[in-house]
Each structure stands twice: as structure tokens, then as C-alpha cells.
Structure 1
Amino acid sequence: METEEREDRTPLLKEPQPDAVPACCSARYNLALLAFFGFFLLYALRVNLSVALVDMVEPNTSLAKNTTSNVCPEHSSTINVPRNTTIPGGYLASRIGGKMLLGFGVFGTSVFTLLTPLAANLGVGYLIAVRALEGLGEGVTFPAMHSMWSSWAPPLERSKLLSISYAGAQLGTVVSLPLSGLICYYMSWVYVFYIFGALGVLWFFFWMWLVSDTPDTHRSISHAEREYILSSLKDQLSTQKSVPWTPILASIPLWAIVVAHFSYNWTFYTLLTLLPTYMKEILRFDAQENGFLSALPYFGCWLCIILSGQIADYLREKKSLSTVCVRKCFTLIGMIGPAVFLVAAGFIGCNYALAVAFVTISTTLGGFCTSGYSINHLDIAPSYAGILLGITNSFATIPGMVGPVIAKNLTHNNTVGEWQTVFYIAASINLFGAIFFALFASGEVQDWAVSGYHLHRN
């Protein structure tokens, strides 16, 4: 606890920092842009089925009818759930390299997407198998990217670089929802899978040609940029061959991220999986009839991720706030904000326009977490960031399984009061996670994460 108490009083980066190399045309920002398009395509591949499925199957009117409480007149939400990543993905990234793991993760997802029309023609079992295999490819991508940034992202540029690369997921959802609908309307549903799958394969070849795991092995990086990156990370990376599992699992700052990630995902699932159900069952509003409203929350989140990344690193670079203070503040905003609007959603009556506004604002504010707990793995243990992300995301998948079950058991009669209880629970969990992270998070490289247990202030 002595370390935790000391770090909050420590100014950011007392040591002289190497002169930064311009971002324009730099290898590290080229990596961020390629990663951006990779995650763009990954999420485009992920959401295309929800759009194409309308044309893939014949509507079953007997199944389509719902016995719900018609609290509001019908107006007429399929929003995708967050990514699922597991510990093996992070471990593989540390062993075979993030470049290969991320590249083949997207490539495999693209190939199986190209096979989706064939699988659909063969039968529903084949279709489910293909989509499950796609999920395996997607599952390794985020820890692979975290692993790469541990070698590529200078400490004072982490928020910017990671926010650029991961924001591709949000924009991919924004673009692919309406674009897939247009392709289905003017062409055929099969081309949704052929077009996005082919783009994913094309991206793979650019990725393998232009990217390397480390600055040392990059073919065209300038000497100045290589030295800038390596010198900024020289005291933060470990040369240990084995993974220090015991100190990792005993690390309080890591568990702060676990709790925050678990809590955030509970509210995320509630907002983007259960709240649309509330809007449909109670408000009688279906966002599928308006692609713009379906994509609006993701667009707001995309903007927030990009802007918050710039702001976070600006505050750290100008020594306005320490790293740990930035991570805590951005996490508090990104978790308490959605919790407030989640509770408010239970008191909007039949105002479906306000419901859409609350979803959009809540999802937008959640973008602050990308520069909060979401990249804190790189602050506390750059060398093991991929493994740490795998650990935290493994716990973060639990809300996706437990949350909907609890909500269903609490809403037998689909009354407003029952749904308010669901929202209160989710908001309380989010609030707890934000407070826990604020109390126990760290902004420094932990002693177990560097060679010789050298503590480096970040």
C-alpha cells in the first residue's frame, strides 16, 4: 500500500523524456491506422449477419408475435454485444507475436465470412459452426494488439495511439449497419459477406507486408523514431522468459482493472442488449426500422474515444495530471455517466426519442474508458499487457451471460417498475467498479513487470 499512496503524490515523469518524433508518416502511427482499419473490418464482419439475416430467412409470423405489456403505442434493436477475449489469446500473443496473431485472427474471420453463404445453404448447423469459428478469430485480436503496443507505444502517446486503433471497432459498426442494408437491397445478401470478407483478406496482405512486432524489426522505420520509442520504453519492458503468474494474479492494480472492466461490461450489456429490449417491449419502439438511430450510439462512442485519447495524453504530457489521475478520472466519467443515464432510462415514460438520446449519451460517455482502465494494462505491465487484457476480458464476459438471465427473471410481467430494478442493479455495479478502480488503480509499471524488479515511474 505504501507504493499506492506514494504514486498519487508523484508528479508525472520527473525523468527527462526523449524528444518526440513527428507523428506524420511515422511507423507507429501507420501501425495505428492499419490497426484501425483492421478493427473496422473485424466489427463490420461481426455485425453483417444481423443485417443480412433479414433476407436470409423467411419471416415466421407465429414466432414474431410477442405477448408483451403494451405500455406504449408501437413504433418499432439489434445492437451487438462487446467483444469476448480470453486468457489464451493474451498468452499466445506473448509467445508468437501480436502481428501474426492479429493478422491471422482477422484473416481467419474474413475467410469464414466468405464461406458463410455456402454454410447457410448447407444448413443452420453449418452456419452456426462457421460463426463460432469466426468468434475464435475475433477473440485473439485485442490482446494481440495490446501486446504489440507494449513495444510500439511511447508512454506519453499510449492514449492517442490505442484510441486510434481501437476506435475502428466503433466506426466499423457505424458504417456496416447501413451499408450492409444497402447491399442487401440493391444487390443480394450474399454480397454482404463476399465484399466485407474480401476486404478483410486484402487488409491481411497489407498488414503482413507493412507491420512488424517491434521497432527493431521494422524495415522502413527511421533511426530517430526507433531510438525515440526504444529509449522511452527502456526501463519498462521485461526480458524474463517466463510469465510471473503468481505476482500477476496477486496484483491489486490488476484486480482494479478486472473489477472496472467487469462492472463496465455489465452496464454496457444492459444498455446495448437489455435497454433495446425495454424500448421494444415497453416503449414499442424498434430501432431496426431506422439504421441511423441504430448506428448513432456507436458514432458518438467513436468520436469520444478519439477525442478522449488526445485529451488524456495532452494532460499527461503537459504534466497537468499524473498517469494514474488521468486513468482514474476518465474511468469515473466513462462509468458513472452511463450509470446515471441508465437509471434515467427507467423514468422516461413513453418518450422513445429521449430513450434513443439516453442510449447515445450513455454509450458516448463510455468512450472515456478507453483512455481509462481499458489501456491501464500497458501502464502497469507493458511486457504482459496482452496477458493482462486476456485476464480482465475473461472476467468481463461474465456479465454477458449473467446479466440477461437476471434481467429476464426480474421482468416476468414487463412492467416499468421491474425494469427500473434492472437498471438500478446495473448502475450500482457500475458505480462500485468506478469507485474500486479509483481507490486501487495504479499508473506505474509494477516491480514484477520489469527485469530486476526495477520500479519505473510513469
Structure 2
Amino acid sequence: MATKTELSPTARESKNAQDMQVDEVLIPRKVPSLCSARYGIALVLHFCNFTTIAQNVIMNITMVAMVNSTSPQSQFNGSSEGLPVDSFGDLNKAPKSLSAKAPVYDWSPQIQGIIFGAVGYGGILTMAPSGYLAGRVGTKRVVGISLFATSFLTLCIPLAADFGIVFLIVTRIVQGLSQCSVIGGQFAIWEKWGPPHERSRLCSIALSGMLLGCFSAILIGGFISETLGWPFVFYIFGGVGCVCCLLWFIVIYDDPTSYPWISTSEKEYITSSLKQQVRSSQQPLPIKAVLRSLPIWSICLGCFSHQCYITATALLTLSCALSTLCQSGIYINVLDIAPRHSSFLMGASRGFSSMAPVIVPTVSGFLLSQDPEFGWRNVFFLLFAINLSGLIFYLIFGEADVQDWAKERKLTRL
């Protein structure tokens, strides 16, 4: 018969001391975030996102200067160094942007819509593969090469426009492939750099560069077009992207163990925080389990509904401000429920949401053509319904715990 034995006070003190030592080993001591390597990585990603989104947005600003919608002649891809005096009645009354001697094209609204949407087609194709590829070969290579590609293509857009509309559309499509690879491939870096309780903050710092890039492009894009000419908008932001690309390859490393400028304490802090999430390279992605996972679908639908853009300026500004909170929620939720496969699933969810910028303009144009007077009201009501349904679905099925299909499976041999 087993009997219960009691420990002496000395033995109990010794056991408690051992437990405290074990706890000290298992619980990593937090390293200050100021001037740390992991927050430096987030800051570099911030500038990369700033550059990528700015390069995506500037076409919306320069199109006003690139297109001559008042020209009496209609050509498919005609260009001129300036407009004739007869077009405005007096040369002195011509827009100031024409004094920059930049080419002006006669593109119809349909052609302009194709040019705008060409970038979105690439997002559907590369978001998920870029995340998967970054998880396999490293974020440094995928994001760095993609950032250089989109920056180089940005520099080439004025030349492509001179060659013809087909060259411009192809350039925009390839640029979209590169831009979405930057966005979809960057999340894999937090698998090895982001402690679980800091990932929301780190990702928010990195993703906030998108908002700053959009704001900056809109703020100064028109000024550059007016003073220097619209081609210089692409030259300036393309050059900034090349500088960020150089900074990326110098500063970024795929994991803290190979980072030359990280302190020993921070390296130990990050690696000890991620011990439970070390993934096996031999473990395949459970596709069937992912497709049946309602938390994954809640993330995808949440991202989709967020991407779809109230009559009052104040309400529109407030909705845009509040929508940024999604960056620290649904956009990085995959890191919580499936950290082992987060690089692929993060890209897949963002790729799913990339269908919205392609579908929304088409549906909006249809609604506006059906009801020119109240069409915008119907558009906003539809977007409200999509956002609300995405929110409800995410609140019901969204989770923050690691899913069973994403946990490490131990194989036993008899």
C-alpha cells in the first residue's frame, strides 16, 4: 500500500528554490524595446511598406496630369509635349502642369480603369505564394527582390507610357505582382523575430507605413506633378524605393541567431519566447484542415470586408481612422492560431482580400449606371452590409488559440 510522505521544512524550501529556478529558466526576462533589434526590424519594414504603397497610389494622383480629357482629338494612345493654344483659348490660361513639358495622353475612362485595376490582378496571384515562399527561402530574399522589382518598374512607368498602353498595362501588372509579394511575404519574418505577446505591436508599427505612404503620396504627388512634371513623381518614389531596398539587404536578417548587431540578452529573450513554436521542416501544410477551419475563413472574410472603402466627410474620416485598428487584429490573427504555417496563411488571407479592389469598382460602376442620382447611396449601403457581415462572422468564429491542426505532431515508431 502506498503511503503519503511529507517533506521536511528544509526539503520543502529546497524544492521551492528548485521550482523558482525552473520558472526563471522557462519565463524569459523581457528586454527593453527601445533601440532593440526587433523594433529596428519593424521600423525598416515600416519604410518598405511606406515605399510600396506610395508607389501603388501615385498613379491615382498623376493620372490627372497624364490624361488630356479636354482634347478635341480622340486617339487611343496619342501623346504630345504640350497642348495646342486653341484647346484653352489662351496659352496663359492653360494649367500650370502643362508648363513642365510632360507628355499628355488621350486615354478614355475605360482605359484609365484598366490601368488602375492592373495592379490588383497581381495581388490575387502572388499574395499566398509569396507568403509560402518567404517561409521556405526566407523573408529577406522574397521581400528584398520584390521591393527592388517594384521600385525599378516605378522608374520605368514614364517610358512604358511612351511605348504604348499595352506596355504600361503589362508594367503595372508585373508591378502589382512585386508589390503584393512585399506585403504578403513580410509576415513570415515575425515567426522568428516576434515574441507572441509583442507581435501585434510589431506588426502595427510595420503596417502603419502603408498609411503614411498613402498620405504622403497624395500630399506631395500633385505638387511634384505641377512643379516638375508627372514623370518625376515616379522617378522620386522609385528612387526612394531603391534606397529602402539597399537598407533592407544590409539591415534585415531572417532570424535573430544570425543577426550581427543583436545583444545576447535580446537574442535569448526572443528564442526562449518562441520555443513552443519551433516548426519542423518536414511537417506539411494541412490543406484540408485549413479549408475546414472557420477561424481561418473569419480572418479571410474580415480582411475582405475591410478592403471593400460616409456621405459626410467627418464620418468618412472617422471610418478610415477606425479601420486601421484591423491591422493589429484580423491581419495578424494567423500568427495566433497557426504560427507554424503563418507565412502561407497570412498571404492567403491577404490574397483573398485582394479580390475586393477588383470587384468593388466593377459593382460600383454598375450601381451608378443603374441609378445616377442615388447610386452612391446604394454603394455605401452595400459596403456597410459587407463590413457588418464580416465583423459578425469574425466575432462568432474568430479565435486566438493555436488550432489543433497547426500544432506539432509527434511521430512514434514501434
Query: Under TM normalisation by the shorter chain, which class is it?
Result: 0.7 to 0.9
Letter in 2 for 1:54: V
In 2, Cα distance between the equivalents of 1:407 and 1:196?
30
1:252 counterpart residue number: 294
Q: Which moved more, 1:407-416 or 1:162-171?
A: 407-416
In 1, Cα distance between the equivalents of 2:234 and 2:364?
33
Q: Deviations over 1:228-255 (max 9, x none)?
A: 1111111123214332222222222111
Q: Equivalences for 1:416-427 in 2 at 5 Å?
A: 416=374, 418-427=375-384
Alignment check: 8 A CA contact 1:45 1:197 kept = yes
In structure 2, do the counterparts of structure 1 residues 91 and 62 end up closer, same or farther at CA, with 3 Å as the change threshold? farther
Out of 352, 370, 373, the residue aligned to residue 415 of structure 1 is 373
In 2, Cα distance between the equivalents of 1:359 and 1:257?
24
- Residue 373 (1) aligns with residue 373 (2): no
CA drift of 1:33 comes to: 0.5
Report the count of equivalent residues. 341
In structure 2, do the counterparts of structure 1 residues 63 and 218 end up closer, same or farther at CA, with 3 Å as the change threshold? farther
Secondary structure in 1 matching 2:176: helix
Secondary structure in 2 matching 1:452: coil
- Residue 264 (1) aligns with residue 221 (2): no
Root-mean-square deviation over aligned CA pairs: 2.6
CA drift of 1:422 comes to: 2.9
CA drift of 1:62 comes to: 6.7
Out of 115, 120, 140, the residue aligned to residue 99 of structure 1 is 140
- Residue 53 (1) aligns with residue 10 (2): no
Out of 25, 42, 46, the residue aligned to residue 36 of structure 1 is 46
1:5 counterpart residue number: none
In 1, Cα distance between the equivalents of 2:410 and 2:216?
46
Alignment check: 8 A CA contact 1:212 1:218 kept = yes
Letter in 2 for 1:413: D
CA drift of 1:453 comes to: 6.7
1:172 counterpart residue number: 213
Alignment check: 8 A CA contact 1:41 1:172 kept = yes
CA drift of 1:198 comes to: 1.4
In structure 2, do the counterparts of structure 1 residues 63 and 155 end up closer, same or farther at CA, with 3 Å as the change threshold? farther
In structure 2, do the counterparts of structure 1 residues 193 and 404 end up closer, same or farther at CA, with 3 Å as the change threshold? closer
Q: Equivalences for 1:155-304 in 2 at 5 Å?
A: 155-241=196-282, 242-266=284-308, 271=309
Q: Deviations over 1:238-277 (max 9, x none)?
A: 21433222222222211121121222223xxxx3xxxxxx
Larger radius of gyration: 2
- Residue 395 (1) aligns with residue 345 (2): no
In structure 2, do the counterparts of structure 1 residues 61 and 365 end up closer, same or farther at CA, with 3 Å as the change threshold? farther
Calculate the TM-score normalised by the size of structure 1. 0.69
In 1, Cα distance between the equivalents of 2:356 and 2:410?
35
Alignment check: 8 A CA contact 2:184 2:350 kept = no
In 2, Cα distance between the equivalents of 1:222 and 1:446?
33
1:118 counterpart residue number: 159
Q: Equivalences for 1:306-317 in 2 at 5 Å?
A: none
In 1, Cα distance between the equivalents of 2:71 and 2:313?
27
Q: Which moved more, 1:30-39 or 1:195-204?
A: 195-204
1:71 counterpart residue number: none
Alignment check: 8 A CA contact 1:105 1:137 kept = yes
2:179 counterpart residue number: 138
In structure 2, do the counterparts of structure 1 residues 194 and 423 end up closer, same or farther at CA, with 3 Å as the change threshold? closer
CA drift of 1:406 comes to: 3.1
2:189 counterpart residue number: 148
CA drift of 1:63 comes to: 11
In structure 2, do the counterparts of structure 1 residues 369 and 437 end up closer, same or farther at CA, with 3 Å as the change threshold? same
Alignment check: 8 A CA contact 2:194 2:202 kept = yes
In 2, Cα distance between the equivalents of 1:426 and 1:176?
25
Alignment check: 8 A CA contact 1:238 1:449 kept = no
In 1, Cα distance between the equivalents of 2:360 and 2:277?
38
Q: Which moved more, 1:82-91 or 1:115-124?
A: 82-91
Alignment check: 8 A CA contact 1:240 1:451 kept = no
Gap regions ≥5 residues in structure 2: 1-24, 75-111
